[in-house]
């Protein structure tokens, strides 16, 4: 007779289910040893959390620890016991809200068990999936896949039935390129149609894998990449649904974000000497940007009319911005050589403000002062009146581009004649009083983008 039944009558099944839903999975497994009535019931709970639970410092060494190997085997046995229950017909009707599997001593021999786990959780319509497979250091260097601790590979086949996922967290895995031809893409359903949030940490991407993975997520809103690596050293993101993008300490040379019309927040933090270039194009709703990148050389940003942000890039050489002067961007880049700014001010009422106030000019002056640290500044304006600072304003406010040596103002071809207006020349002279070279040019928006491309912005 088991321990529990010898003490009191068995509890109703409903009560047991409620108790097990409150407890973590590890405790549920222990409870199953108390009574046959409890045995296997934990397998039916809507939240499963298999956590090997070790501090990396306790196992991350080169010598073989038999105790750790045995502990890992016991952990795998618990996972495989759950897989056995999943084979039962009644278990196939149980839905999963969340499934978490965290291994700290993963070995290549566990590959088959992981495949089965993912197959079963997708069959049970899992909503949140959290997988971390840190490989045992004893296997590092056995092949090129696992020389840096990556072995388990996420392919199209892996995610073929992941239709119900809304949250995906992956750590210490490798992701293949999910690319399809245009013809197949039109006929093939997306892999992750309902995914809203994706966190990737210590993930190794095949070449172009980030770009094609995002294409499989038409509903994604939040994407976080931490300490990830891509074979071609380029993170290319294009998504019309994405709202938040965070990239921290990733091994990349280029970050390129294009046609992310709903992107609101963009954050990059990197000390990597590889990161040279960040480009955000067609991000018309971008409201917040925070870039801290020690070795970044080139940055191009297009954003919302009220974009706010901080750019702390001590080695930045070129900076391009497209947007409105209402944006509040603080640029800390002491080595900046060239700044290109396309100002989108269009209408006279925006320039003059209501009741003829200096609101626009005060905003523009502050904007130019925050970005005006480079030796050469190129301003693209749609309307010359945007820079026609009134005389009374110039008398009461300091110059925003005091240290600029070369100022270039570029306007549409139709406004060429304004270069001869004395008041306009006086306004430009006040803006950059230290300049030894003042130029007026003719270009359009497409030429601005082409220039950014040519100079590597």
What one-character-per-residue DSSP string does 358-374 give? SHHHHHHHHHHHHHTTS
pTM here is 0.82
Q: Check if the beta carbon of residue 276 is closer than 8 Å to that of residue 299.
A: no
CB atoms within 10 A of CB 456: 14
Residue 153, phi then psi, degrees to nearest 5: -110, 130
Sign, Cα dihedral of 318, 322, 325, 330 = negative
Cα 382 to chain center, whole Å?
33
Distance CA(455)–CA(394), nearest Å, equals: 33
Cβ distance 154 to 175 under 8 Å? Answer: yes
**Of 26, 115, 116, 114, which is closest to residue 71 (Cα–Cα)?**
26
pLDDT at 165: 97
Which DSSP helix (H) or strand (E) runs through 188? none
Domain ranges of the chain: 321-457
Which residues have C-beta within 8 Å of that of residue 177, sequence separation ≥ 6? Answer: 206, 207, 208, 209, 212
d(CA 457, CA 188) in angstroms, rounded, equals 36
How high is the pLDDT of residue 70? 84
**According to the model, what pLDDT value does residue 7 have?**
46
pLDDT at residue 26 in the model: 53
Q: What is d(CA 304, CA 239) in angstroms, rounded to the nearest whole number?
A: 17
The tokens for 397 are 């406010």
Residue 267 pairs in a beta bridge with: 246, 290
Cross-strand bridge partners of residue 331: 311
CA distance 236 to 239: 10
Question: Position of tokens 């961007």?
Answer: 329
Tens place of pLDDT per residue across the chain (457 aa): 444 444 455 555 554 455 555 545 555 455 554 555 445 555 567 888 888 876 555 545 545 567 777 888 888 888 888 888 777 755 666 788 999 999 888 888 888 999 999 998 998 899 999 999 988 766 554 444 444 455 789 988 899 899 999 999 999 999 988 887 777 777 788 899 999 999 999 999 998 899 999 999 999 999 999 999 988 888 999 999 999 999 999 988 999 999 899 999 999 999 888 899 999 988 989 999 999 999 999 999 988 778 999 999 999 999 999 888 889 998 999 999 999 998 876 544 444 443 445 678 898 999 999 888 788 999 888 778 888 899 999 999 999 998 888 998 887 765 656 767 788 888 989 999 988 777 776 555 555 555 444 334 4
Helix (H) / strand (E) containing 224: strand 222-226
């Amino acid at each position: 007779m088991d321990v529990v039944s010898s003490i009191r009558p068995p509890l109703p099944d409903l009560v047991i289910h409620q108790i097990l839903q409150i407890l973590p999975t590890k405790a549920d497994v222990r409870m199953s040893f108390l009574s046959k009535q409890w045995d296997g019931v934990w397998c039916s709970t809507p939240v499963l959390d298999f956590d090997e639970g070790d501090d990396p410092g306790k196992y991350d060494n080169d010598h073989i620890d038999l105790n750790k190997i045995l502990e890992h085997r016991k952990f795998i046995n618990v996972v495989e016991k759950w897989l056995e229950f999943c084979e039962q017909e009644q278990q196939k009707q149980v839905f999963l809200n969340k499934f978490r599997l965290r291994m700290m001593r993963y070995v290549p021999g566990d590959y088959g068990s992981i495949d089965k786990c993912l197959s079963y959780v997708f069959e049970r319509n899992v909503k949140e999936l959290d997988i971390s497979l840190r490989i045992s250091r004893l296997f590092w260097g056995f092949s090129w896949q696992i020389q840096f601790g990556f072995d388990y590979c996420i392919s199209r086949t892996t995610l073929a039935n992941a239709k119900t996922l809304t949250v995906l967290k992956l750590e210490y895995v490798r992701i293949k390129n999910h690319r399809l031809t245009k013809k197949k893409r039109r006929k093939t359903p997306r892999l992750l149609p309902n995914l809203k949030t994706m966190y990737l940490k210590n993930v190794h991407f095949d070449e172009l894998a980030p770009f094609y993975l995002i294409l499989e997520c038409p509903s994604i809103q939040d994407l976080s990449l931490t300490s990830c690596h891509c074979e071609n050293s380029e993170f290319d993101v294009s998504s019309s649904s994405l709202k938040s993008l965070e990239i921290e300490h990733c091994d990349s040379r280029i970050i390129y974000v294009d046609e992310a019309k709903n992107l609101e927040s963009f954050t990059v933090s990197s000390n990597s000497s590889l990161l040279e270039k960040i480009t955000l194009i067609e991000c018309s709703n971008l409201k917040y940007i925070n870039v801290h990148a020690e070795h970044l050389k080139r940055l191009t940003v297009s954003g919302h009319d009220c974009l706010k942000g901080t750019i702390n890039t001590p080695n930045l050489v070129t900076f391009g911005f497209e947007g409105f002067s209402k944006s509040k961007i603080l640029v800390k880049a002491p080595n900046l050589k060239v700044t290109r700014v396309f100002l989108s001010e269009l209408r006279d009422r925006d320039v003059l403000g209501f009741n003829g106030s200096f609101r626009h000019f005060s905003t523009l002056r502050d904007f130019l002062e925050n970005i005006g640290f480079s030796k050469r500044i190129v301003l693209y304006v749609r309307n010359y009146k945007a820079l026609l600072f009134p005389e009374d304003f110039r008398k009461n406010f300091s110059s925003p581009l005091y240290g600029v040596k070369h100022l270039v103002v570029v306007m549409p071809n139709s406004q060429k004649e304004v270069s001869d207006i004395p008041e306009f020349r006086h306004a430009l002279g006040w803006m950059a009083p230290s300049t030894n070279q003042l130029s007026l040019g003719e270009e359009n928006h497409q030429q601005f983008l082409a220039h950014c491309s040519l100079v590597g912005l």
